[in-house]
Amino acid sequence: MEIDGIRMDILAIGTRPRSHHDMPAPAAFDRSTAVLSQQVSGSRYFFLGLGETSRAGVVPTYGGFEQCDPDYLVQRDQIEFTTLELVVAGEGTVRLNGVSSPLRAGTVFHYDRRTLLEIRTDPLRPMAKYFLCLTGARAARRVLEAGIQPSTVTQVAMFPEVQMILEDIIREGRHHRATAARICSALVEVLLLKIEELAGLAGRKDQGGEETFLRSKGVIDAQAAQLGTLGAITKAVGVEASHLSRLFRRYQGRSPYQYLLHRKMTLAAELLLDPHALVKEAANSVGFADAYHFSRCFKKVHQVAPREFQRSLKQV
């Protein structure tokens, strides 16, 4: 299955998959603190040991992705870790210390050992969600610093950006390398900063504007090599130029054409990683007939000319 364009690999196992609240915990975990539920139809999890938490800071001890069944229901207290969740599809409700809040795509919330918790999915629109169980002396405080308050939920704009970081954490957490805890800890900090940034945008946004921006950004990402002008962009996305420019200034901090140019130069740089690639070929591949003009744009974006970029790679 796919959610918002990200592939979700469902575990192929003979028995019904279990949620993170019901998984057999590693030896370092207290099984009695798990919140019981077997009501998920798809899941991907990772586990990290606790040995490096003092070195790594706030570490996701375990976490993953879950697709809830229509009867998904969790009711529990005395949860061992500071736990962070992001809903990416479907709807439901959460009760945190008796305070009920709706859940939908883009909702973030957290709970810990002081929380009376109930999570319930809408049976007609079952939720898909990510979770991280955080440990470390600063875990609870760092979550609060990111603006994720107790007993309430936070809505973030452009939540697929948060989702992508969670996917990175799952991937790195499943590598089981010596540096996995420190890498995941660094990604958790990026995640919390991103939530803080996008929660601020959510307070000022209109839902239709965000959806239009995300759709337009996706079109540019997919067609960056072919698109060449603001007119071509607006024709491809079906949005009037001034409105599209306002959306990109609000959500991206740059104009649609500037974003397109950066995407083109990123694609060109990937091609130039091949030491045998010609600058002219890279230029043509992203829609530049004039190699000199391409080189000027490349240097404007990357602060280095294409040939210098290739020479620097040979010295690495």
What's the fold here for domain 2-202? Jelly Rolls (2.60.120)
- What is the SS3 assignment for the chain? CEECCEECCCCCCCCCCCCCCCCCCCCCCCHHHCCCCCCEEEEEEEECCCCCHHHHCCEEEEEEEEEECCCCEEEECCCCCEEEEEEEECCEEEEECCEEEEECCCEEEEECCCCCEEEEEECCECCEEEEEEEECCCHHHHHHHCCCCCCCCEECCCCHHHHHHHHHHHHHHCCCCCCHHHHHHHHHHHHHHHHHHHHHHHCCCCHHHHHHHHHHHHHHHHHCCCCCCHHHHHHHHCCCHHHHHHHHHHHCCCCHHHHHHHHHHHHHHHHHCCCCCCHHHHHHHCCCCCHHHHHHHHHHHHCCCHHHHHHHHHCC
pLDDT on residue 219: 86
Which range is most confident: 29-33, 79-83, 261-265, 271-275? 261-265
pLDDT on residue 209: 82
pLDDT on residue 316: 53
Which range is most confident: 68-72, 76-80, 195-199? 68-72
Q: In the predicted model, what is the mean pLDDT of residues 22-29?
A: 44
Higher pLDDT, 36 or 190: 190
Which range is most confident: 10-19, 94-103, 167-176, 195-204? 94-103
Which pLDDT band holds residue 3 (cuts at 50, 70, 90)?
very low
pLDDT on residue 203: 56
pLDDT on residue 154: 93
Please determine whether the domains at 2-202 and 226-314 fall in the same fold group of CATH. no
Which pLDDT band holds residue 197 (cuts at 50, 70, 90)?
confident
Range with lowest mean pLDDT among 48-62, 72-86, 232-246: 48-62
What's the fold here for domain 226-314? Arc Repressor Mutant, subunit A (1.10.10)
Q: Where are the domains of the chain?
A: 2-202, 226-314
* Tens digit of each residue's pLDDT (9 = 90 or more) over 133-160: 998 778 989 999 999 988 899 988 778 8
pLDDT value at 15 more than 50: no
